[in-house]
Amino acid sequence: MGIQADSVPNSLEYERVAGIIERQIDTGAFRAAERVPSLRSMSRHAGVSIGTVVQAYLHLEQRGLLEARPRSGYFVAKRGAQPLALPTPRKAETRAPRGVSREVVDTVIESFGRTDLVALGSAIAASASRINGRLNGLTRRTLRDVPSLPNVFSSPPGLAELRGEVAKRMALCGLPARADDVVITNGTMEALSLSLRALCEPGDAVLVESPTYFGILQLAEHMRLKVVEVPNHPGSGIDVDALERAVRSTPLAAAVLQSSFNNPTGGLTPDAAKRRIVAALAKHGVPLIEDDIYSDLHFGRERPTPFAAFDDSGNVITCGSMSKSIAIGYRIGWAISTRYTEALIRGKFCTTVGCPTLQQHVATRYFRAGLHDRHLRHVRNHLRDNCERFAAAIAASFPSGTRASHPAGGVVLWVELPKGVDGTALFHAALEQGIGIAPGLIFSATGEYRNFIRMSAGMEWTPAVAKAVALLGRLAGK
Amino acid sequence: MGIQADSVPNSLEYERVAGIIERQIDTGAFRAAERVPSLRSMSRHAGVSIGTVVQAYLHLEQRGLLEARPRSGYFVAKRGAQPLALPTPRKAETRAPRGVSREVVDTVIESFGRTDLVALGSAIAASASRINGRLNGLTRRTLRDVPSLPNVFSSPPGLAELRGEVAKRMALCGLPARADDVVITNGTMEALSLSLRALCEPGDAVLVESPTYFGILQLAEHMRLKVVEVPNHPGSGIDVDALERAVRSTPLAAAVLQSSFNNPTGGLTPDAAKRRIVAALAKHGVPLIEDDIYSDLHFGRERPTPFAAFDDSGNVITCGSMSKSIAIGYRIGWAISTRYTEALIRGKFCTTVGCPTLQQHVATRYFRAGLHDRHLRHVRNHLRDNCERFAAAIAASFPSGTRASHPAGGVVLWVELPKGVDGTALFHAALEQGIGIAPGLIFSATGEYRNFIRMSAGMEWTPAVAKAVALLGRLAGK
């Protein structure tokens, strides 16, 4: 059963208002540091309530486009103007995961392991030597304090102290979790995998975004699940109307949605839309597994709210990790749920049994040391600056007609090449030149996004990276 | 379709000869350090070739019952006489995994995580402070030499240097593997899980031992697989005739067999039987996944040979880890295969993505430092002594009619209680007294082994442990 995307995706009033402002920023009508219309005047101008304008401005602030100044109003944030238009949204449809060529995926995975590439392929923030030093210091202290750890087994659900720290952090962003709701996993992917395993039988259909992280599609194929794709827009995130239609028309065993800053589009779904999505899924009895991995990497002031904050029925499992913001080498993640922890524990026990004991202790000490928020500010500033540098470099060297996302958080840029330019061919050509990217084709089971690529903006911006982006642009123009 | 166990399980000539000697040791007819009949006289006595007697004596040596002395012949090994008869073999049949009560399994898993118990439940060797100190030293050196590791991602198949070390070790025990054949996993269970995922579709049937490690049965249920069980005897291991009948009569997607020292029976399948098993499975196109986790913990002189050493067709995946012999907290294991590595890598990438980088480096340094064999000798001596202490304590305090395995390696004892004594009730009663054991029921999907328990002999033998075993015996006699 086909599900068509809307040509006008957002039916929400406040998103219409936000769109008016965003277009004026994009065209340069409003410049950086310039004051935007007051709440009252915008309310009159757009014919909506003041409350709706507040919602719109808060959303733009969260996306890093506006800044609030106490007692002065809202101003355009000081960030580079977006030099390229946003990629175009696409259709999506129900189908069994198919045709993501195994060979392409195998080559992408292999390229992630190569240390000889300019690694624009994997969605990883650059290693910060400062954070590594702190973590290694905590590791040394842990070895000294608990020398028996190599032979201490950490049974699922994992170290109680770490579960407590994770629960505390989630409570700060609107999800009142208890330590007993947390299961420690080998990164976010194991949390997603165990959650799907707890909820789905082979042959079931699950709802995902289009595009979505290709590992989610690989996981669905691995588990013999079908996927139903609903569009995610590079600006406003998940197309709620399309999602509601999909939930009404197709029996679904679960939904797997990214909480914020979709990988690859960077799209951020507003809170009001999240509320509608949670309600629609609960109404039709479809459990929601959210992938909250990028929410900490927001460029705006506030961390986006997880879906689970809008749920009071136990219908949402929140999956996250410390891989993107702290230590990808640790393989520490979590799944948070009030309803499914027993099933998650059972699944963990018979597939990977436990998580490394040492890293669970070090992560606990790290969170308790209170260093995390300062570190995150540093990472976020780095990523925001990098996204702008990459966007400018793409605009300068890629062929005319190229579009790119303008993310308000996360690590990746989603680049639409002119029609007829094959992202997979570019991926292979780039590999030959020692550059890793990810071809757009692998981010959907529909066969769309052939003329897209995903680039990581997580690297340090160095002359080698600048040269690699320029070379990519020339290869794309050939 | 039912598969009946033989009442005389071993059709092999040399096993008959070995049985003659073993019974005479068990009854005390041959005492410790006494010379057994020469090859020539035993050949005449039993009416078999000298080669067959050599095979029989080598097998008894491997099982720790005989010792060879250069130019003097074979002698009964200096170990305690087995105070209890071996548990009786059971029937086995084809069926979907069922009735292992979730509640019982959940309680067992939970008990593994409790630090307030005398932990006779989990099959773990006691933490050796010496090995922990060495590993922690290597960890400190790794942190100093490669301080960026927290943010270095190790893509599957895992660290090349570690894969090389694993391949080298396996080559020493008869499996000529290359680094490229090795995929690093989160312990042996992930290796088994990825292997099954690469070979099976939901609803398929897989061959397992009866009894077998309950995690394997949980994994089959988790993956919606059926199991066909063939008997494993506490002495001679897998019943080859039953296996051959099962392979002929039932379509099987794979076999999951423990290479040596079956958990829970301790049974050791002789090389000649392994050769027949490998041939039968290859003939019927059934891939073999072997769980090689206990082979390093042999009490006899030689490490038992993995099944894969008898395969030249790429039909065997060998799974192992450093969890039982070195560091259970590290979560480092491997799957070795010439044919299935790509499928294993693909599965790993979309479920747990990678293994912790630090532990892979430390494990590499550990193997390269050449300390492993000396450490293993220490662990094996400890385990052999402990098994005898446990067996003697069980004989002294458990009700008359109790039987127990007399393993030639590994960490566990398989205890058959008198008919009518419920192992699950004993498990619950023991938990209330602060003692962890594993109930026999969970080691089969047939509902058999209700009057069995599994005890770990991995703990240090302390007065608290002695008291716990005595209390268990009293509880079992109530």
> What is the tens place of the pLDDT at every residue in A124-173?
666 567 889 999 999 999 999 999 999 888 999 999 999 999 999 999 88
Residue type, B109: I
Per-residue model confidence as pLDDT tens digits over A193-215: 999 999 999 999 999 999 999 99
CB contact under 8 A, B351 and A133: no
Q: Identify which of B105, B187, B354 has the shortest CB distance to residue A352.
A: B187
Q: Determine the residue among B161, B206, B350 to mutate to test chain A binding: the one whose Cβ has the most chain A Cβ atoms within 10 Å.
A: B350
The separation between CA B438 and the C-alpha centre of its own chain, rounded to angstroms, equals: 15
CA distance, residue A339 to nearest chain B CA (Å): 16
- In whole numbers, what is the pLDDT of chain A averaged over residues? 89
What is the pLDDT at residue B278?
Answer: 98
Domain range A97-128+374-477, CATH class: alpha beta
For residue A157, cis peptide bond before it (omega within 30 degrees of 0): yes
pLDDT for B79: 65
- In whole angstroms, give the CA distance from residue A168 to residue A161: 11
The domain spans of chain B are 2-76, 97-128+374-477, 129-372
Higher pLDDT, A121 or A372: A372
Highest mean pLDDT among A27-31, A55-59, A224-228, A322-326: A224-228
pLDDT reported for residue A10: 38
Q: Could you report the per-residue pLDDT of B203-214, keeping only the tens digit for each?
A: 999 999 999 999
Would you call A113 and B155 a contact, using CB atoms and an 8 Å cutoff?
yes
Residue to substitute from B101, B109, B112, B151, interface A, most A β-carbons within 10 A:
B151
Q: What is the pLDDT of residues B310-343, one digit of tens each?
A: 999 999 999 999 988 888 899 999 999 999 999 9
B114 φ, ψ (degrees, to nearest 5) = -85, 135
The CB-side HSE value for A126 (13 A sphere, CA atoms) comes to 22
> Do A136 and B150 make contact, defined as CB atoms within 8 angstroms?
yes
Contacts of B86 (CB under 8 A, 6+ apart): B233, B234, B235, B403, B404, B405, B406
Q: How far is B136 from chain A (nearest CA, A)?
A: 7
Percent with pLDDT over 90 in chain B = 61
Which residues of chain A neighbour B330 with C-beta distances below 8 Å? 150, 356, 358
pLDDT of residue B85: 83
The reply to whether ipTM tops 0.90 is no
CATH number of B2-76: 1.10.10.10
Confidence tier at A9 by pLDDT (50, 70, 90)? very low
Task: Read off the tokens for B126.
Answer: 């006691």
In this predicted structure, the answer to whether residue B101 has a pLDDT above a threshold of 90 is: no
| pLDDT, tens digit, 9 for 90 and up, residues A297-319 | 998 888 999 999 999 999 999 99
Amino acid occupying residue A276: R
The per-residue pLDDT for B81 is 56
pLDDT at B99 over 90: no
**What is the mean pLDDT of the segment spanning A419-435?**
95
CB contact under 8 A, A153 and B112: yes
Would the CB atoms of B149 and A132 count as touching at under 8 Å? Answer: yes
A-chain residues within 8 Å CB-CB of B227? none
> Which residue in B202, B221, B326 is closest to A202 by CB distance?
B202
Strand spans (E) along A276-354? 288-291, 316-321, 333-336
Range A394-420 burial, b when 16+ CB lie within 10 A, else e: beebbeeebbbbbbbbbbbbbbbbeee
What confidence category does residue B55 fall into, taking pLDDT thresholds of 50, 70 and 90? confident
Structural tokens at position A135: 């973590």
Tokens of B121: 């439940």
Which residue has better confidence, B155 or A127? Answer: B155
Find the CB nearest B351 among A150, A219, A327: A219
Would the CB atoms of B224 and A202 count as touching at under 8 Å? yes
Smallest Cβ distance to B329: which of A124, A221, A356?
A: A356
Q: Average pLDDT of chain B?
A: 89
Q: How far is the C-alpha of A164 from the C-alpha of A166, rounded, in Å? A: 6
Predicted local confidence at residue B4, as pLDDT: 36
Q: Which residue of B has its CA nearest to A194?
A: B351
Report CB contact under 8 Å: A151, B329: yes
Contacts of B351 in chain A (CB under 8 A): 189-190, 193, 219, 222, 351
Task: Please state, as a whole number, how many other Cβ atoms lie within 10 Å of the Cβ of residue B271.
Answer: 18
Measured distance CA(A154)–CA(B113) in Å, rounded: 7
Tokens of B429: 């009663």
Per-residue pLDDT at B421? 96
pLDDT of B218 above 90: yes
Do the Cβ atoms of B351 and A152 come within 8 Å? no
What is residue A25's predicted lDDT score, i.e. its pLDDT?
Answer: 80
C-alpha–C-alpha distance, residues B408 and B300, integer Å: 7
B417-455 pLDDT tens trace: 999 999 999 999 999 999 999 999 999 988 889 999 999
- More confident of the two residues B145 and A69: B145
For residues A454 and A407, the answer to whether their CB atoms sit within 8 Å is no
Amino acid, res. B295: S
Distance, CA of A404 to CA of B245 (rounded, Å): 62
pTM score, whole prediction: 0.88
pLDDT at B56: 87
Q: Which residue has the tokens 């410390």?
A: A322
- pLDDT at B92 (0 to 100): 59
How large a percentage of chain A has pLDDT more than 70? 93
Cβ contact, residue pair B222, A346, below 8 Å: yes
Asked whether the beta carbons of residue A150 and residue B355 sit closer than 8 angstroms, the reply is no
Tokens linked to B132: 């922990």
Q: How far is A122 from chain B (nearest CA, A)?
A: 10
The answer to whether the CB atoms of B329 and A219 lie below 8 A apart is: no
CA–CA separation, B294 vs B291, rounded Å?
A: 8
pLDDT band at B88 (very low <50, low <70, confident <90, very high): confident
Q: Which of B353, B362, B459 to mutate to test the interface with A (most CBs of A within 10 A)?
A: B353
Q: Do B358 and A353 touch (CB under 8 A)?
A: no
Q: Which residue has the higher pLDDT, A101 or A258?
A: A258
Please give the DSSP secondary-structure letter assigned to residue A462: -
Which tokens belong to B80?
């305690």
B356 contacts on A by Cβ (under 8 Å): 329-331, 356, 359
B212/B226 Cα distance (integer angstroms): 14
Residue B94 has pLDDT above 60, yes or no: no
Give B68's pLDDT tier (boundaries 50, 70, 90).
Answer: confident
Cα four-point dihedral sign A377, A415, A95, A213:
negative
Say how many C-beta atoms besides its own lie within 10 A of residue A478's C-beta: 9
Asked if B329 lies within 8 A of A357 by C-beta distance, the reply is yes
CB contact under 8 A, A112 and B222: no
Task: Let me know if domain A129-372 sits in CATH 3.40.50.1390.
Answer: no
Reported as a single tens digit per residue, the pLDDT across A264-273 is: 999 999 999 9
**What is the predicted pLDDT for the residue at A81?**
56
Q: Is the pLDDT of residue A478 over 60?
A: yes
- Residue A147, helix vs strand vs coil: coil
8 Å CB contact of A353 and B215: yes
**Partners of residue A154 in chain B, C-beta under 8 Å:** 113, 329
